[in-house]
Each structure stands twice: as C-alpha cells, then as structure tokens.
Amino acid sequence: MSQVSKRKLHEKIELKMFETLWQAISKVKSKSDVQLFLQDILSPTEKIMIAKRLAIASLLSKNYDYEAIKNLLKVSQGTIAKVALTLKFNKGYKIVIDKIQRSEAMKEFWQSIERIGQRLVSRQHYTSPEEVLKKKLGHESKTLVR
C-alpha cells in the first residue's frame, strides 16, 4: 500500500503540485498516452483501487445494489458507501461516468462485465437471461442475484 510522508508540505508547494498534476492529466489526450502515464505514476494496487472505485460509481449510477456490487467487484460495503457518498455530494464521478456511458465502446465493456458478473454470481443462484432482462426492465433496483 502506498504511504505518504507525515511531514507537512508548505501549502503553496502542495497547491502548485496539484495544479501541475491536474494540468498534466488534462494534457494527455490519447488512451495509450493515458495508459502509459498512469502505469508510470501509479502502483498496481493504486490502479486497481481507482478502477474499482470508478466501477462502483458506475454500477451505483445504474442502480445496482450494494450486495451485487460487493460480489461482482470483491469490495467491502464500506468502500461502496464511501463512493456512494462522494457520488451523491460531489461532481467528479458524475462528469466521468456521463462521458463513459455515452461512449459505445464503454457500453459494450460494461455489458460484458455484467454478463461475467451474472455468470459468477449465478453459479450460486441461477437466473435465466429472460429473468435477468425482466428484472432489469421491470424494477428500479437492478441486482445480479435473485
């Protein structure tokens, strides 16, 4: 797990560092450049952590319940709750999720994730594709299990 020094940075230096980071991220345009940058700057654990948080936010925005998200992404209720609070009161996740959901390629990706999740969860509780579709179309809350 990553660690941050306990020694406090001067506030102006910290602000300048974050300004530089935001600027750097906003300048990276292509997917391959973003991937290279994040592979260099983040540890494998940090990448997984960020990817899971984004996936949690996306699934919450699609009205999946905590239990389904917990089983699919192997995350704790606490992590889901933290992301849910951030999603509710802040704008960052919403901006990114809206952009992701508008992308056809990403729609296909999330559909494949849902299918994989359904297969993994349905090993314990089989649900036919027709039942899953009926649940998705007929109910406010979507789950991967019965």
Query: DSSP string spanning 2-51?
Result: ----SSPPPHHHHHHHHHHHHHHHHH--SHHHHHHHHHHHS-HHHHHHHH
Q: What pTM, to 2 d.p., does this model score?
A: 0.67
Structure tokens at 84: 């849910």
pLDDT at 107: 75
pLDDT in tens, 27-73: 998 999 999 999 999 999 999 999 999 999 999 998 899 999 999 99
The total number of structural domains that make up the chain: 1
pLDDT in tens, 108-135: 777 888 788 777 766 555 556 666 656 6
Backbone angle region of 109, left / alpha / beta, with phi > 0 → left and psi within -120 to 50 → alpha = alpha
Q: Is residue 143 part of a domain?
A: no
**pLDDT (tens digit, 9 = 90+) per residue, 64-100?**
999 999 999 999 999 999 999 999 999 999 999 888 8
List the domain range (segments joined by +) for residue 48: 43-138
Higher-confidence residue of 101 and 51: namely 51
**Nearest CA to 100 among 66, 62, 143, 70?**
62
Q: Give the CB-side neighbour count of residue 39, counting CA atoms within 13 A.
A: 6
- Residue 92 falls within a domain, yes or no? yes
Q: Is residue 104 part of a domain?
A: yes
Give helix 44-61 / helix 66-73 axis angle, nearest 10°.
150
